[in-house]
Amino acid sequence: MHEITIKESYAFSEESLLEIIYQFIEHQNFSTLHIMAGHFMLFFDPQGKRLEPGIFEDIQNPMLKEAVKTRVGIFPTYTWKLAIQLAENASINNKKSAKLILLVNDWQYVPDNKQDTDYRTQFYERFTSLPDSYLSLLAPSTTLSTNNICESRRNSICFPETWLKNRFQNEAARLVKQGKLAKRYLPNRPAMSEISFTDAYGSTTPLVSCGMTGCAGEISEMISEAYKSGARLLILFAPSECHAPIRKGIEIALSLYDFEPMSLLVADLGGSGELTQNEIFSKGAHIVTYET
């Protein structure tokens, strides 16, 4: 396994958060900065009978707007705004080019019936441009444009989570053959198997169970895909509730994949209905950096 240096801190204000991130970027020699921001979930709109990005500022249906506002809060637009600010600063002050990564949760709130794949397919067929609020935040920038959006091999403007989950299953099978991950058949379901990762402390995390990929595996694959797109310096703005699986996914990717040296920073910024910066930072934004 590769040696990983991990440092943790907390920010209790946006100013403190930005200071930590600016220092992190300034001390890196990589020429390009990748930032995962604006992450949103898809919600089903019963009025339009289709999936909509969980960005309450853009939703027209009043009931859905309120539901998303209560469930998610300002996380998507707030992290997108921060990413633009950081990318502009890196370009102007650190002479680094910047790419923005948009991760879409396209499974959690998609209707659980035979039509769910159709709803997803329909969504991506029309999702050919960034959400209106994201375009509005990007428009005033003199250094960034939609050309700075990092495309995935699946979509020109985003990284779909279902795609990452499916891709990781193939990657996990390869890592099992290499002896880097463990596979076992479940005693109570002998036809089903589980693939897991055991860290240096002996803690085991299931990554693929009964054919379903967990969030840690998905994040590992996202980092792998970003790496293939040139990411060596990567910032991730993540929902606080996803802190544990995201950290585990980062550690798995950096430990098991054959990467060149990388530096990553993950910051947890709400995502559970917080509507103001004070609500986000009063609890402390957890910041973790990784360097290999």
**Is pLDDT above 90 for 234?**
yes
Q: Which residues contact 5 (CB under 8 A, 6 or more apart)?
A: 290, 291, 292
* Averaged pLDDT of the chain: 93
Contact between residue 148 and residue 91 where contact means Cβ atoms under 8 Å apart:
no
**For 32-47, what is each residue's pLDDT tens digit?**
999 999 999 999 999 9
**What pLDDT sits at residue 241?**
93
Q: What was the pLDDT predicted at 182?
A: 87
The per-residue pLDDT for range 70-82, each reduced to its tens digit, is 999 999 999 999 9
pLDDT above 70 coverage of the chain, percent: 98
pLDDT at 264 over 90: yes
Reading the block at residue 153, the tokens are 């091999």
Strands (E), 18-163: 32-36, 40-45, 50-53, 97-101, 103-105, 159-160
Which tens digits make up the pLDDT trace of 48-57?
999 999 999 9
Q: What pLDDT, on a 0 to 100 scale, did the predictor assign at position 34?
A: 98
Q: Between the CA of residue 202 and those of 45, 122, 148, 197, 199, what are the distances in Å?
A: 44, 43, 40, 9, 5
Mean pLDDT along residues 140-149: 96
List the domain boundaries for the chain: 5-145+152-163+213-291
**pLDDT recorded at residue 204:** 85
pLDDT in tens, 166-223: 999 988 888 888 888 888 887 777 667 889 888 777 788 888 877 778 899 999 999 9
Q: Cα separation of 75 and 228, whole Å?
A: 27
CA distance to 20, 37, 162, 257, 265, per residue, from 261 (Å): 21, 22, 28, 11, 14
Mean pLDDT of 237-266: 94
For residues 250-264, give the mean pLDDT.
Answer: 94
Element (H, E) at 195: strand 189-198
Of 15-29, 197-211, 228-242, 275-289, the one with minimum mean pLDDT is 197-211
Q: How confident is the model at residue 1 (pLDDT cuts 50, 70, 90)?
A: low
pLDDT of residue 116: 64
User: If you search the block for the tokens 């960005």, which residue do you land on?
Assistant: 55
Q: pLDDT band at residue 83, thresholds of 50, 70 and 90?
A: very high
Question: Is the pLDDT score of 114 beyond 70?
Answer: no
Say whether 4 sits in a helix, a strand or coil. Answer: coil
